Structure 1
Amino acid sequence: MRHDLTDFDRVVLPELELPWPSTLHPEVQGMHRALTDWSERHTLLRDEAERDRYAGYRFAWLAGRCFPRADPAFAQWAADFMLWFFLFDDVTADRVESAERATTMVRRLTAMLDVLDLDELGERPVHGETAWDDLCRRLRALVPAEENYQRWATAMRLWFLSLTTQVFDQVRTHRVSPRSYASYRRYSAGLKPPLALADVANAGSLTPEEFHAPEARLLEMYATHVIGWSNDVLSAPAEVHEPATRSLVTVIKDAEPGRSWQEAVNLAVDQTHAEIAKFAELAEQVRRSASPQLAGWIDGCQDDDRHGQLVPARHRPLRPHRRRPSRAIGRSRTMAIPRSLPPGPAPGPEDLWRLEQQPALLEDFRASYGDLFTLHRPDQPRGCSSAPPTTSAASCSATTRNSTAWAPPCTTT
C-alpha cells in the first residue's frame, strides 16, 4: 500500500548500537577477486545494468564480517553465496505485481528446490541455477558432516517457501499485524541459513542436542529479529517509497495510522534494542556452561548480527558524514549511518579522485570510513575535469556510482 509521507522528511533516526565488536576476515581482498571470477563463470550478472547495480554491494566484505574466523575456503563460499542470495531475492521476489511475474517466481523457486531435493539440474536451467548447484556441492564438501549440510538445506527450503508468503501478503493483503509480520520475517529475511552454519565457521560443529536445545533456538530467534529489524530500520528511508515493500517501520505505522513516522521509527528501534538485550542476557547465561563449539556458535550469531547493518548498503548512496547520535533524514531520502556501523557501497575511482581534490571532505571521509578503507590517489578517470570540482562527494557518488567497475576500486583493509 502507498503511505502518506507528509512528516517523514522530519524523522530523526536514532543509533542502533550492538554490545560486541565487529571484525573482518583477513582474506577479504582475495575473496572479492575470486567472487568476481565465479560470478562471471556462471553469468550471474547478465548485463551492464546488473553489473553497475551490484558493483558497490561488496559481498566479500559482508561475508568477511559475518564469518571473520572461517576457513578461507568456507569464507569464499560464503561470499559467493551472498552474491547469489541477494541477486536471487532481488530478481525473484521483489515487486511481484503481475501473474507473469508470479509464474516466473514459481518456476525459479521450484528449480532451486529441485536442486536441493533431487541433487540435479533441470533440463533447461533457469538463471542462477548452475551457480546454485555449484554452491550446494561445494558446501557439502566443506562441512564436516551431512547433518551440517541438512541444517542449512532445511533453512534454505524454509526461506524459499517463505517468499511465497511474503509475496502473497504484498499483493493480496492491505495491512498485516506487527505480530504476523514478525512471524514470516523470521524466515523471509533469509537469516536462518547463515546462522545454521555459524558453528562450522567458528569452533566446530554443534551436536544435535546442542543445536536443537531450547536455549539455542531462542538465541537464533533473537538474532534473526536483531538482524531483520535493524535492516528494516536502516532501510526505511528507501523502502517507505516502495508501496509493495513492508518493513517493521511501515507495519508499526499501519497498525495505528494516527501515530507519526517518528513514533513508528522510535518504536521499531526500541523493539530492536529489546531483542539485542534479550540475546545478550541469554548468551551470557548459556556461555557459563557452554562447550567450545557452542560458544563459537554464539560468537558467530553475534558476527551475523552485523548483517542487518551491512545489508542496507543496497538502499543507500555513498555519503560521508560525521559521527552524531542522530540526524534528520531530510528530503534527500538518505539516512545518516552512525560511525559505529560498517559503511555502504565502495566509492568509485571518480569519487576518490574528487575527494583527493578537496582536503576537508577527504578528512571527513577518512573519519567516517577509515576503518574499512585505505585511501590511495587513483589516476584521474577519463571524463573527469582536472579543475577542482564544485559538487559535493555525496552528489558525485549519486552520479558516478552506476559507472563503478565490478573490480575493487580501492584497497580495503
Structure 2
Amino acid sequence: MASELIVPPLYSPIAPAIHPRHTEIDAGTTAWAEYFCIGSRELRDRLVKHDIGTFSARILPDGREEVVLLLSDFVLWLFGVDDGYCEEGEVGRLPGELAGVLHRLTRVAQNPQTSMLDDDPLAAGLRDLRARVDRYGTADQAARWVDALREYFFSVVWEAGHRRAGSVPGLNDYTLMRLYDGATSVVLPMLEIGHGYELQPHERSSHAVRAAGEMASFVITWDNDVLSDHKERHAPGYHLNVLRVLQNDLGLTAEEALDLAIAQRDRVMCLFMRLSKHLSRVGSPQLRQYVASLAHFIRAAQDWGISSVRYTTPDNPANIPTGFTDIPTDDSPEPLEIPAISWWWDLLPEATSPAMPESRNGITWRDRKQRWSRVG
C-alpha cells in the first residue's frame, strides 16, 4: 500500500546553507499573505505554516534580503495559484476556464496598470510582485520572469487536461510537463536578481546553461514527487506524480517505481554536478554565481522537502527521511532514455566525462542498462 512506502535518504552532494535573516523573512511573507488575502482563509492558514520564507532563504543564502523576501512572497503566491486554482479549485478541472484565468493574470504581470481582475487578491499580489521585480531587477530580467510565468501557466493547463480526464501521461510527456509545472523555471531569474547581476546573453542562451537549469528543475521536481507522494495519495481527488506515471507506464509496483525514480534523479544529479563544474571552470564570474545558485536551489528544495509540515504531514506522518546520503544509487554517465531530456548528456566535452567502471557494488553497467532498458 502507498502508506507503507518508505523513502530512503536521497543523494545530495550539495552542502546546505541559509540566509541569516530567514526568521524575519518567513514572518514578512506571513504578513504579506495576510495583507493581500492570498487564497482562501483555510488555504492561507496552511501556507503560512509551511516555512516558505525558510525555503527561499536557503535558495539565496547570500542574496539581498529584499530579494529573498520577494522570492518568498512569490513562492507563496505560486502556491496560492497551484493549490487554490489548480489542485483544489473547481477551475483546476476545466482547462479552458483555467487558461482564461491564467491569461488574465499573465496580462497583469505584463502590464500591471491594466484594468483587469481589479478585485482579485491574486492579481493584487501579482501587481506588487511585478513592481518589486522592476525595482530590484533589470527590464530584461522582468521580461524573462513574465515569460517563465507564462510557461508555468501553459504547463498547468496541460496538467488540468489530465486532471479532467483522469488520465496519466507517458513518462516522456510527463518529464517535459514537469520541467515547467513545478514552477521551478520562474525562480531562475530571481537567482540573478538576488545577487544584483545579469548573465551575459551568450551564456544565458547557451544550450549548456539552459540544460543546467533544466537539470536542477528535474531533480527538484522528482524529489518533490517522491517526498510528497504520501501527502498526495492520502488527499481526496486526482493526483499525478512520477511514481504514478512509472507505475502506469511500465506496470511497476509502487516500490519499483520509487526505486526507479530515485535512480533517475541520481543520474541527473551526477550529470548536473559534472556540468556545473565544467561551466564554473569556463564561464564568467556571473555564470559561476548562477551555477552555485542552481545548486543552492536544489539543496533548498531537499531540506525544505524533509522538514516542512507540507510534506511531513504531522497528522498522518509520512515515511520520508530526515537526512541525505552522499552515495548515489545510479551514477552512470549514460543518458536516460527519455527523449525530452536525453540531449543533456551530449553537452559535456569528452574530457570531462568520467570513465565508466565495469562494475559498481557487484553490478555491471551492462546489467544495470539491461535492467532499466525500458526507460533508461
TM-score range, shorter chain: 0.7 to 0.9
Aligned to 1:315: 311
Whether the aligned pair in 2 keeps the contact of 1:203 and 1:297 (CA below 8 Å) is no
* CA drift at 1:175: 2.8
Q: Does 1:334 find its partner at 2:340?
A: no
Whether the aligned pair in 2 keeps the contact of 1:152 and 1:196 (CA below 8 Å) is yes
Aligned to 1:130: 124
Identical-residue share of aligned pairs (%): 21
- Structure 1 residue runs of 5 or longer lacking an equivalent are 1-6, 320-331, 342-413
Q: 1:333 to 1:204 in 2, by over 3 A?
A: same
Query: Which secondary structure does the structure 1 equivalent of 2:7 belong to?
Result: strand
Matches within 5 A, 1:145-294: 145-172=138-165, 174-202=167-195, 204-242=197-235, 243-257=237-251, 259-294=252-287
The CA deviation string for residues 284-304 of structure 1, in whole angstroms up to 9 with x for no partner, is 111111211000000110111
Q: Which amino acid aligns with 1:339?
A: G
CA distance in 2, matches of 1:306, 1:192: 16
**2:26 pairs with one of 15, 32, 43:** 32
Q: 1:239 to 1:99 in 2, by over 3 A?
A: closer
Whether the aligned pair in 1 keeps the contact of 2:192 and 2:198 (CA below 8 Å) is yes
Q: Which amino acid aligns with 1:187?
A: Y
State TM-score, norm by structure 1.
0.72
Q: 1:119 to 1:99 in 2, by over 3 A?
A: closer
The CA deviation string for residues 249-303 of structure 1, in whole angstroms up to 9 with x for no partner, is 110011133x221111000110111110110011111111121100000011011
* CA drift at 1:138: 0.8
Whether the aligned pair in 1 keeps the contact of 2:83 and 2:89 (CA below 8 Å) is no
Q: Does 1:75 find its partner at 2:68?
A: yes
Q: Which has the larger radius of gyration?
A: 1
CA distance in 1, matches of 2:183, 2:35: 25
Q: Which amino acid aligns with 2:129?
A: L
Query: Which secondary structure does the structure 1 equivalent of 2:67 belong to?
Result: helix
CA distance in 2, matches of 1:99, 1:112: 15
* CA drift at 1:94: 0.6
CA distance in 2, matches of 1:235, 1:207: 36
Query: Which secondary structure does the structure 1 equivalent of 2:10 belong to?
Result: coil
Whether the aligned pair in 1 keeps the contact of 2:5 and 2:254 (CA below 8 Å) is yes
Q: 1:246 to 1:19 in 2, by over 3 A?
A: same
Aligned to 1:43: 37
Whether the aligned pair in 2 keeps the contact of 1:226 and 1:308 (CA below 8 Å) is no
CA distance in 2, matches of 1:126, 1:155: 22
Q: 1:311 to 1:156 in 2, by over 3 A?
A: farther
Whether the aligned pair in 2 keeps the contact of 1:97 and 1:171 (CA below 8 Å) is no
Q: 1:203 to 1:287 in 2, by over 3 A?
A: farther
Whether the aligned pair in 2 keeps the contact of 1:59 and 1:83 (CA below 8 Å) is yes
CA RMSD after TM alignment: 2.3
Q: 1:8 to 1:40 in 2, by over 3 A?
A: closer
* CA drift at 1:337: 2.4
* CA drift at 1:53: 1.6
Whether the aligned pair in 2 keeps the contact of 1:112 and 1:129 (CA below 8 Å) is yes
